[in-house]
A and B are shown apart, each in its own frame.
Chain A
């Protein structure tokens, strides 16, 4: 038993700090994992169970991680070397690949061995098939949904319906009819769609949204596309149509050269506060190639402004459509190319500078007020802090001159799980202090208490080199960080690795959230160090704003590549640069 204990002794230190492992599987954590693995090999590790009760989950995670790390040490190092920017498209995906959850998605067991027929069957054959079927739902239901799933040919489905109708006095249930309609629409069998449409019109006074949607989609390509607009009206009586419904109608209208109806529907779509599908917008651009009309061009430019205001980014094919449209405008000689932007904010294609990421003074004041009102106060000051503390903080901020850098003490200190917290914090603070920056360290009061991981002498040194504000232990420190940074002015940056998504969520509307995100991109410094002791390096800050923008004779449009998965808090890295030949 004594052997086991000596092995474990070094353990508590690292299980205590394992929350950090999830985010930075660096060198230091790897070392500690080796220790852990050693214990595991001795087959004594379950004696730990009593010791660290609340950490089974993280321990399991550790085990999987240890396995992973042992398996491919080399590739892990390689990944860490080209660590993408915190906000760049695909970065979160890469981060998640670094700590994989080895979960194999097993295929659900096959319940029914019946094969969906590939040829039309006659009634005897259907009868036979039905006898073979064993399941909870009715056979007709099951087989028709299977057909819809594997996109059987229309004829097979038709033979099923004929069989059902023959058994059922010529009546086919609504659900079967809808699934048949789905197949017809999928295979673009317009005449069948119209037949089903006639049947539904004859049989039912009104339909439900699924049936309507399919009919709209099917009819919009046919000559009777105007009837799809009537169906849209029918949907509107009870519920708001989906953006897909609008998309189908608009595409139908454009296909039949009815531009006014298309724009009218587009306006209606925006009026319902729906965000149009990028497909819809692309359709307008694709159609625009054949139209030489100033009015229409202006509307397309309006769409681009809509993209700008809502911080939407076109997809790759949409970007191509935009490019082709611009190049097709007669007399203006637009030239488009796909480029990237340099770190300095200059377009590699034309050399123009992209809009800086700074907020305008009005926007800045607005955001500051909103952070104070919604994130810190939030209707109940006691939730995140107390009025006394808020007062203390406000006085503190007002009395001190503006800071250059605000540091999230706890976040920085816990960066390296193996190292002592106060030491890490002191390292970072003293390195920054050498550059003559005015620092503010935000933390909690428990940091001041003498403990093994928070040494008093080191905290005193920190307090000498930087101003400090310590919140109560049960208060949230992030909101204070945000406000202190905003209060200090535009030049002030803050240091944390936290993505601040929970605070962004406290903001009331999408517009403020976008403003916050823009400000965050421009002011957040994330420490990129993977090892203790080296010089602190920060991720570079975007100097430019990733958004659709124009200078009149040029457009710069960021777009999403088809093969890159982008998370909501990341921005695209590829751009479409359009400028006029001179």
Chain B
């Protein structure tokens, strides 16, 4: 519904520009004029056409080649006069025109653009940031359009099915016996609600540390909130959910506003704990484990008596070690997932998204093995699981005894030191 509303706003706003936007829709009389002019040129060209192409340098040929210029010039003289009457020196309008011309050139810019987006573009500091934002708008517009088309096709298909059903007789249906009414979704929601309440009472805490809003830009923050929503959803559907805490969540901060906006009415009925307090105030310090990919310590097992903290932080801006610094500041234990131990890592960051973290932790919690848990690591990032056979384990053991093999994570760290 909201999409429709927005679209209509766009259309009304664009009206003054439509004349400019579609300069190629020409009145029929004018079209006749063009074709008449052109015919003149084309007819003058006919004799040359019959000649073989060798003599392409002949003067009549030259004249024919320039023909389109005259039509181009003459045809639009009137068009311009109408447009230029509404000419104004507004930078917003100028930007709009620039974008429109870019679109004509086949650049990746949106077709429709709202006043607000236009202002955002004007605020962009550099040329490349403008282009980036325009591309984002372009892709968004394309996806929206594709979705809209899909929706219409689905609606049409549904309509057809309905018609076909109406033709059939419905008596058959009435005779059948059912045990349940078709209320699956509601029942499921209620069941998940019960489980959620149980988790609130007896569940293992899992903390999302929301202290990173200053480190993120608008887009990153947006992504983080999406990931948080998804993690909460995964948790809700699990057999044995965590009791989720959103710590350091400032009321009326950016996070809070975005979350409340995305959840809507559901925000107040959510079966999680949100607090402005820090996790170190809520739990004993020695039972907290901060999960961060920069940690030198590798997580070996999932401990059911510990409180795991996940930083809700999407870092596209190259700030390595921010969460490790936070953990160091509060003197917390840190751990990272044993990705290198189990996976043949190929490309990509060792930082995983929040929902992937959540699924891995849930799987570990439900007595899943590491192999099973790490299936949630995106396939593109690794080439496969490492199998540690009996033979090689023996071999490793022997190496350890011979003391040629580095012990512990710290040694590994030292080895990675670059020269």
Contact = CB atoms under 8 A, between A and B. Distances in A.
Interface of A: 5, 12-13, 16-17, 19-20, 23-24, 49-51, 53-54, 56, 119-125, 141, 155, 158-159, 161-162, 164-166, 169-175, 178, 195, 198-199, 202-211, 237-240, 380, 382-384, 386, 410-411, 414-415, 444, 446-447, 451-452, 473-474, 497-498
A207 B101 contact: yes
Nearest to B329: A382
Given A173-B104, A205-B80, A414-B417, 18 more contacts: A19-B417, A49-B386, A51-B392, A122-B45, A123-B49, A125-B53, A165-B71, A166-B38, A169-B38, A170-B71, A195-B66, A204-B101, A205-B87, A208-B102, A208-B107, A211-B101, A384-B321, A415-B419
B72 A199 contact: yes
A208 B399 CA distance: 67
B260 interface: no
Contacts of A173: 104
The 3 closest A-B pairs by CB, nearest first: A170-B71, A165-B68, A208-B101
B24 to A, nearest CB: 6
B212 interface: no
A161 B411 contact: no
Nearest to B37: A170
Interface string B24-48: 1010000100110110011001001
A170 B34 contact: yes
A174 B202 CA distance: 67
Contact of B35 (A12, A169, A205, A444): A169
B402 to A, nearest CB: 9
B127 A240 contact: yes
B72 A162 contact: no
Contacts of A120: 56, 61, 65
Contacts of B415: 16-17, 19
Contacts of A158: 65-66
B97 interface: yes
Given A172-B72, A203-B72, A53 B406 contact: no
Contacts of A53: 340-341, 344, 386
Interface centre among A51, A170, A204, A382 (most CB of B within 10 A): A170
A178 B328 contact: no
Nearest to A443: B414
A51 B388 CA distance: 8
Given A122-B49, A162-B68, A20 B419 contact: yes
B34 A169 contact: yes
B201 interface: no
B87 A238 contact: no
Contacts of A5: 395
B207 to A, nearest CB: 19
B76 to A, nearest CB: 5
A211 B107 CA distance: 13
Interface centre among A5, A17, A24, A122 (most CB of B within 10 A): A122
A36 B31 CA distance: 78
A479 to B, nearest CB: 13
Contacts, number: 191
B72 A119 contact: no
Interface string B51-80: 001001000010011111101110111011
15 contacts: A13-B404, A50-B392, A53-B344, A53-B386, A166-B38, A169-B26, A169-B38, A172-B72, A198-B73, A199-B73, A205-B84, A383-B321, A383-B325, A452-B404, A473-B413
Interface string B331-357: 000000000110011000000000000
Contacts of A238: 91, 94-95, 98
Nearest to B77: A202
B271 interface: no
A423 B23 CA distance: 79
What's the dominant secondary structure at chain B's contact region? helix
A50 B91 contact: no
B411 A203 contact: no
B306 interface: no
A24 B340 contact: no
Interface centre among B56, B324, B383 (most CB of A within 10 A): B56
Contacts of B193: none
A141 B391 CA distance: 62
B105 A162 contact: no
B403 interface: yes
Interface string B125-154: 001001000000000000000000000000
A154 B148 CA distance: 44
Contact of B67 (A162, A169, A171): A162
Interface string B378-419: 000001001111011001100100011111001101111111
Contact of A410 (B321, B388, B414): B414
Contacts of B326: 382
A169 B31 contact: yes
Given A53-B344, A237-B94, A383 B322 contact: yes
A380 B418 contact: no
B127 A410 contact: no
Contacts of A209: 98
Contacts of A386: 328
B97 A205 contact: yes
B42 A155 contact: no
Interface in B309-331: 321-322, 324-326, 328-329
B75 A171 contact: yes
A53 to B, nearest CB: 5
A23 B419 contact: yes
A414 B45 CA distance: 79
Nearest to B387: A50
Contacts of B396: 51
B370 interface: no
Contacts of A498: 418-419
A497 B118 CA distance: 49
A446 B410 contact: yes
Interface in B84-101: 84, 87, 89, 91, 94-95, 97-98, 101
A166 B389 CA distance: 74
Nearest to A497: B419
Contacts of A414: 417, 419
Contacts of B107: 208
B22 to A, nearest CB: 12
Contacts of A169: 26, 31, 34-35, 38
Contact of A155 (B53, B65, B94, B130): B65
B157 interface: no
B203 interface: no
A452 B403 contact: yes
B321 to A, nearest CB: 5
Nearest to B32: A169
B106 interface: yes
Interface centre among B73, B389, B391 (most CB of A within 10 A): B73
A51 B395 contact: yes
Nearest to B393: A50
A122 B34 CA distance: 20
B80 A175 contact: no
A16 B80 contact: no
A474 B325 contact: no
Contact of A473 (B79, B106, B127, B410): B410
B110 interface: no
Nearest to A385: B328
B234 interface: no
A23 B419 CA distance: 8
Given A51-B396, A158-B65, A170 B386 contact: no
A77 B49 CA distance: 69
B376 interface: no
Given A17-B415, A239-B98, A170 B83 contact: no
A141 B73 contact: no
